[in-house]
Amino acid sequence: MRRISILLLSTLLLPPAAQAQALDYQFFKSRVQPVFLEKRPGHTRCVVCHERGNNAFRLEKLAPGAKVWDEGQSRKNFEMASRLVVPGDPQAGLLLTHPLAPEAGGSAYHSGGRQFASRNDPRWQTLSRWAQGQTR
Ligand code: HEC
């Protein structure tokens, strides 16, 4: 009985981010990956820089002529991107901070520039919703 109440108590005291939060693969595949592929005026697409290079955000190389990643590649992208967020936290992790403009709370420097001017950018919000564990 005593053991149980101690267990219960430690669960209640854990900060939200420490409670396992599953990241949704389908949401990643259908909504997050398109953000990495999308061409926007004034911005280079994430995939152009990030399917090569030696930083931690390493996307799979698209097959010649392919516009999207296949299933196996999408799974690998999912695993890779999952390590760059803090599941359950809408703002933490390099995937959310690095491409975000510094004045909006992002990293001081990203070689890829200010990909998202603010947290109101719908693309940034898509990444954030995925990190929170939302499924749509
Ligand atoms: C013009 C090239 C370029 C573009 C476009 C670009 N990046 Fe980057 N990015 C880099 C380089 C180079 C680095 C590693 C050096 C640095 O931290 O700036 C990097 C670092 C990162 C990191 C941190 C990885 C680490 O190991 O610290 C993340 C996350 C990231 N980029 C996400 C994105 C996202 C998301 C997009 C698209 C919305 C994007 N980048 C677009 C060049 C680019």
Q: Report residue 6's pLDDT band, with 50, 70 and 90 as the boundaries.
A: low
Pocket around ligand 1 at a 6 A CB cut-off:
44, 46, 48-50, 53, 55-57, 84, 94-95, 98-99, 109-112, 115
* pTM of the entire predicted model: 0.88
Q: 105 CA distance to ligand 1 centroid (A)?
A: 16
Q: How many domains is the chain built from?
A: 1
Q: Report residue 19's pLDDT band, with 50, 70 and 90 as the boundaries.
A: low
CB distance 104 to 116 below 8 Å: yes
Q: 117 CA distance to ligand 1 centroid (A)?
A: 15
Query: CA 59, CA 51: separation in Å to the nearest integer?
Result: 5
Q: What is the pLDDT of residue 10?
A: 55
Confidence check: pLDDT of 9 > 60: no
Residue reference for tokens 């911005």: 43
Say what percent of the chain tops pLDDT 90: 83
Q: Report residue 21's pLDDT band, with 50, 70 and 90 as the boundaries.
A: confident
If one residue of 39, 43, 46, 107 were mutated to test the ligand 1 pocket, choosing by the most ligand atoms within 8 A of its CB, it would be 46
Q: What is the pLDDT of residues 57-102, one digit of tens each?
A: 999 999 999 999 999 999 999 999 999 999 999 999 999 999 999 9
Confidence check: pLDDT of 8 > 90: no
Confidence check: pLDDT of 15 > 80: no
Range of the domain at 52: 2-132
> Which residues share a beta bridge with 116?
100
Nearest CA, atom 15, ligand 1: 111
Instruction: Give the residue, 132 or 7, on which the prediction is more confident.
Output: 132
Say what percent of the chain tops pLDDT 70: 85
If one residue of 82, 111, 121 were mutated to test the ligand 1 pocket, choosing by the most ligand atoms within 8 A of its CB, it would be 111
